[in-house]
């Protein structure tokens, strides 16, 4: 996970305008697919009935925002989400046209120390500001 975070930071160093959208791998069923077999080995299985697909933890499976990943612990998912929040503040999306330069400047100020020092835990101040300005994530709300 830490190698992935450093890799993303390297990409942003090379090309700050690149749009990074994070997804946690959610298995897709292909007969004999290596990743799917590895997922099954860690306890993953798809619902067997339509009613099971309606259970809350499966509803957002296709968005990959609530992944069903038995090989990741809650602390890993939290680390990914916290990093994503800091990353989105330090490098706001270019696709949200209602973000003003003032919004972007404030987000950069809020996230600067976290991004530079690699301290992503509990970025509540960024979450509060994102809520205040109604920050849109393109992978969830479109462009």
Are the C-beta atoms of 126 and 104 separated by less than 8 Å? Answer: no
Are the C-beta atoms of 24 and 71 separated by less than 8 Å? Answer: no
pLDDT at 130: 94
Are the C-beta atoms of 50 and 91 separated by less than 8 Å? Answer: no
pLDDT-flagged residues of the chain (< 70): 25-31, 59-68, 70, 138-143
Distance, CA of 143 to CA of 139 (rounded, Å): 8
pLDDT at 43: 83
Nearest to 97 by CA among 138, 125, 130: 138
pLDDT at 66: 60
pLDDT at 126: 97
């Amino acid at each position: 996970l830490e190698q992935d975070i450093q890799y993303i930071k390297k990409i942003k160093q090379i090309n700050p305008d690149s749009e990074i959208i994070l997804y946690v791998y959610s298995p897709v069923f292909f007969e004999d697919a290596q990743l799917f077999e590895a997922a099954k080995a860690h306890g993953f299985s798809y619902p067997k009935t339509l009613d099971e697909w309606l259970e809350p933890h499966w509803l957002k499976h296709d968005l990959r925002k609530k992944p069903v990943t038995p090989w990741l612990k809650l602390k890993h998912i939290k680390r990914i989400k916290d990093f994503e929040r800091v990353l989105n503040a330090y490098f706001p999306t270019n696709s949200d046209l209602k973000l003003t330069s003032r919004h972007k400047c404030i987000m950069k100020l809020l996230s600067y120390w976290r991004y530079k020092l690699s301290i992503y835990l509990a970025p509540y101040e960024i979450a509060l500001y994102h809520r205040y300005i109604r920050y849109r994530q393109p992978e969830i709300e479109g462009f």
